Structure 1
């Protein structure tokens, strides 16, 4: 291969300076140049997006029903690190159902014990009926507590933290009305209903000795779990199947809760932004024709605009759509069977990560992956095109992921600290953190001669497990002290 060099050095053309490891035929060089322009997000564009982000965050704090809902969570403040006890946690994620029994110990900060089981959600549940979902979950809760011989009674039930990673309106910490399904879910009979109560009803049918204490979003959980170990945590973020962030806001700066009885203006409240819906009106996001196609073919066209451009569920699909388009114009995979390539969502973000992580001679590992997954044998020039395309899409995703966090930092005047990030994109993509940090520096105008970054992306602790347990402990302690604001008493 040729020695490494950069393409797109002309800043006026706003190209992304992707690495060229080999020469491409003229037609593919021209094509990757066009795609470079389509997918590159300049410094100026990042700032424009982040500015608009700040406006939508403020609108969501004003009142419910806005584009970014800015959901209040009734998690009042960060943990002390001294929370203790044993708690049941349940995580309904985009792919799996996870149940844990977590013991927080007071012997030293962050000391804990976790026992867990994980179950893959049947695909039919994701588009089925509410009753089937909750009955399925209740069955596995019953199996888990039986297998671990956990003893609860009607008078002393096992305390449960339910991580429900979907946008929900919470008038209390122990209930949550689902606003809209995301992550490809479309289960009938849950939207507009109290998901916590539906789970309680399913557990009651089985006489399970469990009390649902708190309904938690995974992003809030990631922030709290990380703060339990790391007091420098300022924001929790998810860069995985979906994208989201949570942070602490003073209640006096949240008009929709400022007059709630028992709340003082300086009371900190965790806000679950749910900003995957940012810019659904398409005012600032640099959409390509591939983004438009993905939205049109999704279960919820017109919703989750930002998520569909930056989250892990969609990056592999964007990559696939580009390859299908370029093939349709006779530029790649000539005389090959591309029937598998035409299957929506056959490629995930892990596939892209492996391409960028491929240091094998002549990208042989990427070639093997294409043969195994798609039954396609790319030529050497095609492999170089594939590698550059994967980089373009991943770079855009990482740079976009910065915009919401940067808006929060500017709003709260946060100049240093740790952004605790969870999710497959943040923690498994080999170059995400470096790209994220570079874009953050551009938006916040960090000095080029800095010795270290003032705001650092760290790997979040287990938000859906440990975070949920810590929040349950905080909630029970608050109730014990008679601080019942945001807690609905459950028999």
Structure 2
């Protein structure tokens, strides 16, 4: 139901359009369960064999941290907007981790440019950080690096990663199908940087390990932000496609890469706006689930609906809508502010961002559309997590969530919890939810450092399983 009152005062034409949109974007409890069950089947397929929708990538992160990991590490995170470089000092779970960081804005043209341009940007930023922080490092004793690479990659070793496909708007030639870890090493060698790549890490795995460093109830790491994904801990014996001499009960972190769920379009309730986003994306037909639920796309869905209504003469009559025509101008923060701020702030946002003087009726409509889109996204985001929980018989614990949607949208967590209860059939009279979202806001810093520490500790003990020998 709407949190916005007085919608019945909308003009009949707009009210009819709104009710039709509400119906298109509704995800009923029955539909949620259907999607979650299909999700579970695709998760199992990904564990059994290669080449499936959900790739279920092994990571060679063997088990959860003890909480005693210590040391200082370079960490680096290539996100959709920024490159984040950190010097992270672990002092054990009972002491506060120190993180010194710098963010380097990623120019838009780099996302569709050349591989050389991207690596030059990354190594230049890394060199600048090392210099500004006076970190030192030598060829004999290089600085250990954990690199968070938040894109689908097949890992034959923990310090290796073959990019499967670009996501989040990236489309750089010369990288898909190649080992990005080797490309980074070559770029660092060219700059003569005193750095050794210890581990290539997915952001979901980083979120899970960062949380587990202090929280023993962590069950899943999840990203609800620009993209969507999850990681969890399985056993080697459950990964049919993995050929290894490790004992079957060895724990292994799995990076699901489930943004590609239902690329075959069997169960997802796609609207014409979802189809338009897919058609105009760099990879049509791929990442079907991500394009319906992730933060990169929610604002664009909202923009497309407004464009559609405007073109049919229902809203913004006589207004200059040239700004509204700009793809991806509206981010998820725009929608979040509409649910969080009073109407006056929303009116101001429309004026400043779109140069549109919005009427009271259009304001009410926009508020409700923001609710409809965000609610669908939150409900869909339960499907992958509930499928993991059912597959592994997990009945309680903490989902360590990173990402702007999870941690900044004012109503995401409540909507997510409601939908989880519907799918997993939690008692309606429960006092507490058995599975809850906790914040893991530094998986790319703390998580990457902890994984680097775990990896170096294993190597020192002579355990080189999943570590490339050099």
TM-score (normalised: structure 1)? 0.94
SS at match of 2:145: strand
- Unaligned 5+ segments in structure 1 are 1-16
Correspondent of 2:70 among 69, 84, 94: 84
1:142 aligns with one of 127, 130, 139: 127
Please give the per-residue CA displacement for 1:210-247, whole angstroms capped at 9, x wherever unaligned: 10000000110000000001111100000000000000
Tell me the residue number matched to 2:56.
Answer: 70
Q: What SS class does the counterpart of residue 324 from structure 2 fall into?
A: coil
2:317 aligned to which of 331, 334, 339: 334
Query: Displacement, 1:24?
Result: 1.3
Matches within 5 A, 1:289-304: 289-304=272-287
For the residue of structure 1 that corresponds to 2:323, the secondary structure is coil
1:324 corresponding residue in structure 2: 307
Name 1:377's counterpart in structure 2. Answer: 357
* Residue in 2 that maps onto 1:188: 173
SS of match in other structure, 1:182: coil
Pick the aligned partner of 1:36 from 5, 9, 22: 22
Determine if the alignment matches structure 1 residue 439 to structure 2 residue 419.
yes
**Secondary structure at 1:319's aligned position in 2?**
helix
Q: How does 1:219-368 map to 2 (within 5 A)?
A: 219-257=204-242, 259-261=243-245, 263-359=246-342, 363-368=343-348
- Cα separation, 2, equivalents of 1:248 and 1:397: 25
Deviations along 1:106-156, whole A, 9 cap, x unmatched? 3x5352111111100111111111111112111111111111111212121
Partner Cα distance (1:289, 1:260) in 2: 45
Instruction: Say if 1:110 and 1:229, in contact at 8 Å, map to a contact too.
Output: no
* 4+ aligned runs moved over 6 Å, structure 1: none
Residue 116 of structure 1, aligned match among 76, 101, 106 = 101
Compute the displacement of 1:104 (Å).
0.4
Residues 280, 302 of structure 1: 8 Å contact kept: yes
The separation in 2 between residues aligned to 1:60 and 1:379, in whole angstroms, is 50
Please, which of 382, 389, 393 is the counterpart of residue 369 of structure 2? 389
Gap regions ≥5 residues in structure 2: none
- In the TM superposition, what whole-angstrom CA distance separates every residue of 1:393-413 from its partner, at most 9, and x where no partner exists? 000000000000000000011
Q: Give CA deviations for 1:186-216 in whole Å, capped at 9, x if unaligned.
A: 1111111000000000000111111000000
Q: Which residue in the other structure is 1:131 paired with?
A: 116
Q: How many residues align?
A: 468
TM-score, normalised via structure 2 length: 0.98
Q: Which residue of 103, 114, 125 maps to 2:89?
A: 103
Root-mean-square deviation (CA, aligned residues, Å) is: 0.9
Match of 1:6 in 2: none
Residue 403 of structure 2 contacts residue 441 of structure 2 at CA under 8 Å; is this kept in 1?
Answer: no
Out of 367, 388, 399, the residue aligned to residue 419 of structure 1 is: 399
Q: Matched residues in 2 for 1:136 and 1:21: separation?
A: 49
3-state DSSP class of the match of 1:214?
Answer: strand
Rounded to whole Å, the distance in 1 between the matches of 2:127 and 2:226 is: 28
